[in-house]
Amino acid sequence: MLPMADKGHKHRGDDPQRTPLYGVLMIIAALAAAIAVSFYGPVWLRIVVYIAAVAVVAVGFVFTLRDYSG
């Protein structure tokens, strides 16, 4: 018997159309957090959020353009 994955069944989160959507949502959420913290909050919190936002935007960018790579 073949395992279920080899029979063509999809697992949750395997839809390739969703990956770019997740990337765009990650970018939007990171930018929204960076904008929100820029109006209020101590400097140390702003720095932490900005660094986290850069990392999340980078991962979101990779997710968004993943299907276009060669």
- How many C-beta atoms surround the C-beta of residue 53 within 10 A? 19
| Rg, the chain, Cα only | 17
Domain assignments of the chain as residue spans, ordered by start:
27-70
Is the separation of the CB atoms in 28 and 58 below 8 Å? Answer: no
CA distances in angstroms from 50 to 7, 23, 61, listed in the order given: 44, 18, 16
- How many C-beta atoms surround the C-beta of residue 30 within 10 A? 21
pTM of the model: 0.71
Of 34, 35, 37, which Cα lies nearest the Cα of 54? 34
pLDDT digit string, tens, across residues 6-34: 556 666 556 667 888 999 999 999 999 99
Q: Predicted confidence band at 62 (pLDDT cuts at 50, 70, 90)?
A: very high
